[in-house]
Amino acid sequence: MQSIASYITLLGTVLLIGVFYFVISNSKLQEEYSSFSKKWYSFRGKWFIFLIILGTALTLGTLIPFPIPSQAKVYSSDDYQQVDVSGHQWYWTMSTDTVVAGKPVEFRVIGADVNHGFGVYNEDLELVAQVQAMPDYTNKLIHTFDEPGKYRIFCLEYCGLAHHVMMSELKVEAAN
Amino acid sequence: MSTTTVSNKISYSEAENQGALVAVKAHLIAAFLVFLLMMLAGATLRAAQGNMAPIGADVFYQFMTVHGAGMIGIAAIAGMAVLWYFLRQYVPLSTKIFWINFGIFLTGVVIILGSVFLGKYGGAWTFLYPLPGISMGAWSTGAAAAFLLGLLIIGTGFLILLLDFGRAILSSYGSFGRALGLPQLFGKEPLNPYHPATVVAGTMVLIVDFIGIAAGAVVLVMMLVNLYNPEFKPDPLLVKNLIYFFGHVIINVAIYSAVVAIYELLPRYTGRPYKTSKVFYAAWFAIVFMVMSVYPHHLYMDFPMPKWAMIGAQILSYGSGLPVMVVTGYGALMLVYRSGIRWNTSAKLLMLSIFGWAAGGIPAVVDSMVSFNRVLHNTMWVPGHFHFYLLLGVLPMIFGFTFYLLNGANGAQEEKPPLTERLGFYSFVGGALLFVGGFLASGASGIPRRWAVHLEEWVPYAQWSTLGAVLVIVGVLLFTLRVLTVLPKAPDPALAPAH
Ligand SMILES: [Cu+2]
């Protein structure tokens, strides 16, 4: 996911640089505005329609299925492993530090004092899942670990002077 | 009246124009100095993460708080100065009130600096409730209150200035709808291509900023009450909504006010008029609502937010990039194409600002999609995208306007720009691209934002970014030298004959 985001951004930026280079390198020459303005104004309409279609496709493609788990649903302990997580200044408490791979985990996350961010990182330091840990609310994060290993929990919402030392570990064991 | 070919300009006395010019210059000089100082603070943050600046975590978070609050505030006030300079040519604005806002702003700044450097407040400019009141002893309740009060005071100054905008626009156009060009958009009045773009933008800024700052004032008061009366506990999710609504509006308005520099100056440099049209009015009318309704894209990782708010935010975030970009960016490129433009520093900076605004929108739109936000939210990707359009978009708009004042409307077009300007420009652009690229790459690698100390694996990203930041600072330093030595005495270019 992160690398797709990078490629889209890089590609878009390079294309834009191309457009700007084209216009700037064609800027010294003088030509009557009316000689091309009609043509490029009508192209603008097509460009706009293209962007609308692209936006519609992106909306449908990224929102179906909806990427955020239902908060109203009750996740039964038969189908889900449950972990109660609580963020404090400046440490995490978790009801267990071990889960198994392959079966979805329901993290029930709260902020005990201020806002924190519950971020799950794999061994390659890639961010695999996150949710805010906020006071007065329980946020349900559902994640299925595909790979066993030692995962790390970092705080992703600024929560005061020791924000960056708020780390914990989560062991994911292979399913037997 | 709508068939006249020249828009009605307000005539002021010579003394009034001089007074206004001095006020605008004061804003710009202050802006350059503050930008420079805040950039030094920002570079220090990246250097600390790159293990190259030995500062403690407490100082890091104080710098971070000052850098954020300072940049937002100075971008807002400098963007306002650009808008004010042009808007007063169409509607009768009060120079006195412009100064009053500046005075109130500086007062607020002093209070905020006191809260951070004397009171050790380090709760970030986003003052996320209830963090300001729960510092684990790092700062006192008084320090947090001073910070919130400083923001409240600054907001009050802006509200006073915006009231003057409202009075002046109503006195010239009768209603905000007419100022926005709505009767023309809906066919109630004949189309007037000389209806000033600046008036449209100014009216949008007035409406949106007023509502945004008012919401900010509400949340600041709620939090101040909570600090001294902890019995009063507002809903944390509601407070978060208000904070992000206010924060999103105020920084976006900085862009939408500075953008008038493009509408006003590119026509001068290209010799082609920037005509308003139905498409233009429709774009700005849409943006009035979009800027206020997209803010829930900051709250995707707050899962209890209603689903419709998240879906709406994703669609509108994409949509809000379209109108002004299809209109402003595209229109600006058309103005420049085969225009015979001479590339003085002002023209270069304005062109850069269009690029930075458009390109910076790409990572922003990516992050505003829920699926991407799940792995990018609160990583360095976020400062990456907003530094992209602030550093390469908003700043070049403000700088481009400053160099217009500094070099005169046509003055420096005749010759090559001075070496300091050329060096400054390339150092700034190169540094900014490196800096922003460093942020985005960090974010894609999952590096969390707002961490005083980085893991070993992350240190090289911070070091590259620091190099970028240093180049940016060199560029801005060169610009600032020009500004300090030439701007105070520069004559008003509006009085010079147009191209
Ligand atoms: Cu934290």
Q: What is the model's pLDDT at position B496?
A: 55
Q: How far is the CA of A126 from the centre of ligand 1 (A)?
A: 18
Question: Residue A85: left (phi > 0), alpha (psi -120 to 50), or beta?
Answer: beta
Reported ipTM: the value is 0.94
Going from the C-alpha of A129 to that of each of A68, A118, A151, A167, B273, the distances in angstroms are: 11, 8, 11, 15, 51
Contact B247, B296 (CB under 8 A): no
Residue B377 tokens, joined = 């939210």
What gap in Å lies between CA B322 and CA B309, rounded to an integer? 20
What gap in Å lies between CA B471 and CA B463, rounded to an integer? 13
Going from the C-alpha of B41 to that of each of A109, B63, B392, the distances in angstroms are: 34, 6, 18
CATH number assigned to the domain with residue range B10-489, chosen from the 4 options 1.10.600.10, 1.20.210.10, 2.40.110.10, 3.40.50.620: 1.20.210.10
Per-residue 3-state assignment (H helix, E strand, C coil) for chain B? CCCCCCCCCCCCCHHHHHHHHHHHHHHHHHHHHHHHHHHHHHHHHHHHHCCCCCCCHHHHHHHHHHHHHHHHHHHHHHHHHHHHHHHCCCCCCCHHHHHHHHHHHHHHHHHHHHHHHHCCCCCCCCCCCCHHHCCCCCCCHHHHHHHHHHHHHHHHHHHHHHHHHHHHHHHHHCCHHHHCCHHHHCCCCCCCCCCCHHHHHHHHHHHHHHHHHHHHHHHHHHHHHHHHCCCCCCCHHHHHHHHHHHHHHHHHHHHHHHCHHHHHHHHHHHCCCCCCCHHHHHHHHHHHHHHHHCHHHHCCCCCCCCHHHHHHHHHHHHHHHHHHHHHHHHHHHHHHCCECCCCCHHHHHHHHHHHHHHHHHHHHHHHCCHHHHHHHCCECHHHHHHHHHHHHHHHHHHHHHHHHHHHCCCHHHCCCCCHHHHHHHHHHHHHHHHHHHHHHHHHHCCCECCCCCCCHHHHHHHHHHHHHHHHHHHHHHHHHHHHHHHHHHCCCHHHCCCC
Q: What is the model's pLDDT at position B253?
A: 94
User: Which residues in B lie closer than 8 A to residue A134 (C-beta atoms)?
Assistant: 236-237, 240, 302
CB contact under 8 A, B448 and A156: yes
CB-based burial, B191-221: b 16+ in 10 Å, e otherwise:
bbebbbbbbbbbbbbbbbbbbbbebbbebbe
Q: What is the model's pLDDT at position B498?
A: 46
CB contact under 8 A, A161 and B58: yes
Question: B57 CB near a chain A CB, below 8 Å?
Answer: yes
Question: B413 CB near a chain A CB, below 8 Å?
Answer: no
User: Which residues in B lie closer than 8 A to residue A31 (C-beta atoms)?
Assistant: 338
Question: B231 CB near a chain A CB, below 8 Å?
Answer: no
Question: B304 CB near a chain A CB, below 8 Å?
Answer: yes
Q: What is the model's pLDDT at position B3?
A: 39
Q: What angle do CA B264, B266, B270 make, to 5 degrees?
A: 130
* Parallel/antiparallel/unpaired status of strands A167-173 and A149-155: antiparallel
Question: B353 CB near a chain A CB, below 8 Å?
Answer: no
Neighbours of B64 (CB within 10 A): 24
User: Which residues in B lie closer than 8 A to residue A141 (C-beta atoms)?
Assistant: 303
Collapse the DSSP code of A96 into the 3-class scheme (helix H, G, I; strand E, B; otherwise coil) and give the result: coil
Phi, psi of B191 (to 5 degrees): -65, 130
Rg (C-alpha) for chain A, rounded Å, is 24
Neighbours of A69 (CB within 10 A): 17
Residue B225 tokens, joined = 């009450």
Of the candidates B312, B297, B428, B302, which has an alpha carbon nearest to the alpha carbon of residue B364? B297
Scanning A139-158 for CB atoms below 8 A from B yields 139-141, 154-158
Domains of chain A, by residue range, sit at: 2-63, 76-173
Please tell me the distance in Å from A83's CA to the nearest CA on chain B. Answer: 17
Collapse the DSSP code of A134 into the 3-class scheme (helix H, G, I; strand E, B; otherwise coil) and give the result: coil
Q: Tell me the CB-side half-sphere exposure of residue B115, using CA atoms within 13 A.
A: 28
User: Which residues in B lie closer than 8 A to residue A154 (C-beta atoms)?
Assistant: 448
Domains of chain B, by residue range, sit at: 10-489
Q: What is the model's pLDDT at position A33?
A: 82
| pTM, entire model | 0.94
Chain-centre distance of CA B335, in angstroms?
Answer: 24
Of the candidates B490, B474, B485, which has an alpha carbon nearest to the alpha carbon of residue B422? B474
Strand order in the sheet with A105-111: A91-94, A81-88, A105-111, A139-143
Contact B217, B155 (CB under 8 A): yes
Going from the C-alpha of A146 to that of each of A96, A165, B167, B263, the distances in angstroms are: 19, 27, 62, 53
Q: How far is the CA of A86 from the centre of ligand 1 (A)?
A: 12
- A110-157 pLDDT, tens digit per residue, is 999 999 999 999 999 999 999 999 999 999 999 999 999 999 999 999
Q: What is the model's pLDDT at position B295?
A: 93
Q: What is the pLDDT along chain B (499 residues), one digit of tens a residue?
A: 333 444 578 889 999 999 999 999 999 999 999 999 999 999 999 999 999 998 999 999 999 999 999 999 999 999 999 999 999 999 999 999 999 999 999 999 999 999 999 999 999 999 999 999 999 999 999 999 999 999 999 999 999 999 999 999 999 999 999 999 999 999 999 999 999 999 999 999 999 999 999 999 999 999 999 999 999 999 999 999 999 999 999 999 999 999 999 999 999 999 888 889 899 999 999 999 999 999 999 999 999 999 999 999 999 999 988 887 788 888 889 989 988 888 889 999 999 999 999 999 999 999 999 999 999 999 999 999 999 999 999 999 999 999 999 987 555 555 678 899 999 999 999 999 999 999 999 999 999 999 999 999 999 999 999 999 999 999 999 999 999 999 998 888 876 544 4
Scanning B262-291 for CB atoms below 8 A from A yields 272
Q: What is the model's pLDDT at position A139?
A: 96
CATH class held by domain A76-173: mainly beta
User: Which residues in B lie closer than 8 A to residue A139 (C-beta atoms)?
Assistant: 302-304
What gap in Å lies between CA B19 and CA B240, rounded to an integer? 41
Q: What is the model's pLDDT at position A35?
A: 81
What gap in Å lies between CA B328 and CA A105, rounded to an integer? 48
Chain-centre distance of CA B27, in angstroms?
Answer: 14
